[in-house]
Amino acid sequence: MTYLRLYATLGRQAISTNFQYRLNNFMFLVGMIAEPVVYLVVWSSIAERQGGALDGYTPGMFAAYYIVWTLVRAMNITFTPFGWEERIRDGTLSGHLLRPIHPVHYDIGWFSGWKVVTIVMWLPIAVALALVFEPTLDPTWQQCVTFFVAIWGAFLLRTMLLWVLGLITFWTTRVTAMFEAYFAAELLLSGRLVPLDLMPGWARETARWLPFESSFGFPITALVGPISGRGLAEGLARQFAWIAVSALFLAWAWRHAVKRYSAVNG
């Protein structure tokens, strides 16, 4: 109950704060449109040249995929690993260490509240994109339920993954190359650039052994399809497994990072 009260309090604060800056949030979401629209136009054009479909994906399915993409992308934004250096330098981290609850919960609570604002701001953007690109979207109720669970699971998973990545800052200040390599791998193997069904077989198999699909591609495919009931269950199982593994790894990494931080600042 303590965590739920914390999440509720931080969520309300985030909603109140971000609705005061609703124009900034709206423009932020509008700025994200360029990337998926480029992908959408490119892959839709290729599908049309291939006779109306590319490996089962029609232009309407590509439109649905990349419109849902915009929501999933906004939902899995969390605290950037590049921000850890500032947290350490300005003393924010020291304040977190005095609190009785693990600092990751404060990020989860705050960013969860921001997601509520994000969803409200996303709706008119989605309507505009749907009117322009005419997506093909006819999910079952199982897909809708799975999608709702999966987008929040993706947010939770990516929060912990980026936290673990950010903790590298405790051991070295030369983190830019490592962070950029991580984000490049995420771009290629998450379904962000192109649906994983269209990737070569080796790329699909590699992606199955990494957490990126669970934090991006799976939530989209869960709603847009094509996916079976078994695929939905297996996708959720993989996502939950990655959340559990990431939580354990985060607990281990945080314990060692705090020891190093205390030793350096003691």
Mean pLDDT confidence for 3-29? 79
Q: Pick 215 or 257 by higher pLDDT.
A: 215
Domain count for the chain: 1
Of 100, 244, 86, 259, the C-alpha closest to 169 is 86
CB contact at 8 A, 91 and 239: no
Cα dihedral sign for 231, 210, 205, 180? Answer: positive
**Cα(228)–Cα(232) distance, rounded to whole angstroms?**
6
Mean pLDDT is lowest, of 10-19, 110-119, 212-221, for 10-19
Retrieve residue 192's tokens.
Answer: 């962000």
Q: How do residues 90-100 score in pLDDT, each as one tens digit?
A: 777 777 777 77
Q: Pick 88 or 137 by higher pLDDT.
A: 137
Q: How do residues 105-161 score in pLDDT, each as one tens digit?
A: 888 888 888 888 888 888 888 898 889 888 888 899 999 999 999 999 999 999 999
**Cα(127)–Cα(123) distance, rounded to whole angstroms?**
6
- The per-residue pLDDT of the chain, averaged, comes to 85
Task: Report residue 45's pLDDT band, with 50, 70 and 90 as the boundaries.
Answer: confident
**pTM of the entire structure?**
0.89
Q: How do residues 201-210 score in pLDDT, each as one tens digit?
A: 888 888 888 9
Structural domain span for residue 149: 2-265
